[in-house]
Amino acid sequence: ALRPAELFRIDRPEFISFLERHPSLCIRMMGVLCERLRWVSENIEDAVFHDVPRRLARRILLLGDTYGQKTPAGLRINQPVSQEALAAMLGVTREMVNKSLRALRNSGAITYNKGFIVVTNLYMLKDMAGESGDVP
């Protein structure tokens, strides 16, 4: 967790009974589970079929969607993220992330300073991530 959090535990029989009494919640939960399954499938696909620079570009786009804020310099990811954290997200070494970040910086797609990423060229980053389509 990025912030302090509380964790609650519900025994399986009680939870199933609750879902039986609230079918609309059950349907919403199925939607959440489907989203998570899609996310896992995409991560497996990335790990198997894409190289580290492309995977890193895709992860930066995802972080931008979640934590990004438009600034005059570009889309700033307002959550600092270390190279170690990026490596853990991608399942690679910090050195591989460092090399890929350097390539993204040298291309002009991003800046990276003290853990903060700014997407300076969204078109280029999307291209490096293998994504096509319009950029807002």
Show the tokens assigned to 92: 């690679």
2 belongs to a structural domain: no
Give the sign of the dihedral formed by CA 43, CA 47, CA 48, CA 54.
Answer: positive
Q: In what order do the strands lie in the sheet with 68-71?
A: 68-71, 74-77, 116-119, 110-113
What's the CA gap between 30 and 53, in Å, rounded?
A: 33
Full pLDDT tens readout for the chain, 136 residues:
678 999 999 999 999 999 999 999 999 999 999 999 998 898 888 778 889 999 999 999 999 999 999 999 999 999 999 999 999 999 999 999 999 999 999 999 999 998 899 999 999 999 999 987 555 5
Q: Which domain holds residue 121?
A: 51-128
Same domain assignment for residues 22 and 88: no
Same domain assignment for residues 65 and 38: no
Same domain assignment for residues 66 and 98: yes
Q: Any bridge partners for residue 70, and if so which?
A: 75
What's the CA gap between 124 and 126, in Å, rounded?
A: 5
Residue 48 confidence (pLDDT): 82
Same domain assignment for residues 17 and 83: no
Query: Count of domains in the chain?
Result: 2
123 belongs to a structural domain: yes
Same domain assignment for residues 114 and 62: yes
Residue 49 confidence (pLDDT): 83
Residue 100 confidence (pLDDT): 97
Alpha-helical segments (H) within 22-121: 23-49, 52-67, 83-90, 94-107
Same domain assignment for residues 96 and 36: no
Residues in the chain: 136
28 belongs to a structural domain: yes
121 belongs to a structural domain: yes
Can you give the pTM of this predicted structure?
A: 0.73
What residue type is 35 in one-letter code? Answer: E
What's the CA gap between 35 and 7, in Å, rounded?
A: 21
